[in-house]
Amino acid sequence: MASSTPHPPPGRGVSALPGCYIFLLGAALLVGAGIWGVYTFLRQADELKAFTDTQPSPLAVDSPPAGAVDALRGRLVAFADAGAAGKPAELVLTREDLNMILAGFPRLADVRSLVRVRQLGPDATFTADVRFPMNALPGHRRYLNGEMDGRFGLHPEAGLFVSVIDVRVPGRKVPAGFLEVYQRGIIPGKNFGFLDEMLIRNFRDDPVFAAPLRRIASLKSGDGTLILSTAATPAPPAGGGPGKAGAPQGSGE
């Protein structure tokens, strides 16, 4: 009698249900995140409508008198040259001077119709009228027609900067979340805030202007003025110290 060939016992099957459950759970999480994102976006769009308008209100921009921009530029250059030479100097800027910088300097052409300084206050503060464009729903631009309180300050590495204290729209309330964005900037910890990003950062990143901004030693408020000062820098010792005359120490020369 022929012997029968033994067969291995049937293996246990592997269920696909756990994998399906994981896939469905992941899909549900993605759908939930998408719904939450849409809800948050629509909610922010509604909040935006509460304190913005569909059109910017006119913002008066004075045309500087003939020769005034050149005269102001000369004062700025003289102040920067004094700082570079290590000499003490003082630059007094009025509200009109700041608005002339906004209106008359090509580098600020994109913002001249958005910001106008209304007054200078104590402790290097200021109030400005603003007309900021803001993104709402796709294809629908909104405008913040209001006023902003800010302060000038000095950073040990970056030099002059400007920060936002408050944003107001007459008769309306600006939500705390939007105010926080103006105060901290688009990238928290990477800049000094929205207004500094708009007005000063492109000067700070320019080699021509970066050094003069860092040489400002102090600032204070006068009677409706902002006063910037440079400090006297001690002259190098005769012979240039341990190194060669005129060569910075550690330069290898």
**122 pLDDT higher than 80:** yes
Residue 131 is inside which H or E element, if any? strand 125-135
Q: How many domains does the chain have?
A: 1
Distance, CA of 168 to CA of 88 (rounded, Å): 38
Confidence of residue 242 (pLDDT cuts 50, 70, 90): very low
When the pLDDT of each residue in the chain is averaged and rounded to a whole number, the result is 78
Whether 108 contacts 90, CB under 8 Å: no
Q: What is the DSSP letter of 138?
A: T
Three-state DSSP class for residue 250: coil
Confidence of residue 90 (pLDDT cuts 50, 70, 90): very high
Residue 54 within any structural domain of the chain = no
Residue 12 within any structural domain of the chain = no
Residue 36 within any structural domain of the chain = no
The predicted model gives 51-71 an average pLDDT of 85
Where does the chain have alpha helices with state H? 17-51, 68-84, 95-104, 176-184, 194-199, 201-204, 207-215
pLDDT value of residue 7: 55
Residue 159 within any structural domain of the chain = yes
For 129, residues 6+ apart whose C-beta sits below 8 A from its C-beta are: 59, 115, 116, 118, 146, 147
Confidence of residue 152 (pLDDT cuts 50, 70, 90): very high
Confidence of residue 21 (pLDDT cuts 50, 70, 90): low
- Domain extent, residue 185, equals 68-230
Residue 93 within any structural domain of the chain = yes
Query: What pTM was computed for the model?
Result: 0.72
Residue 214 within any structural domain of the chain = yes
Neighbours of 114 (CB within 10 A): 21
Query: Tens digits of per-residue pLDDT, 192-241?
Result: 788 888 888 878 888 788 888 889 999 999 889 999 999 887 655 555 44
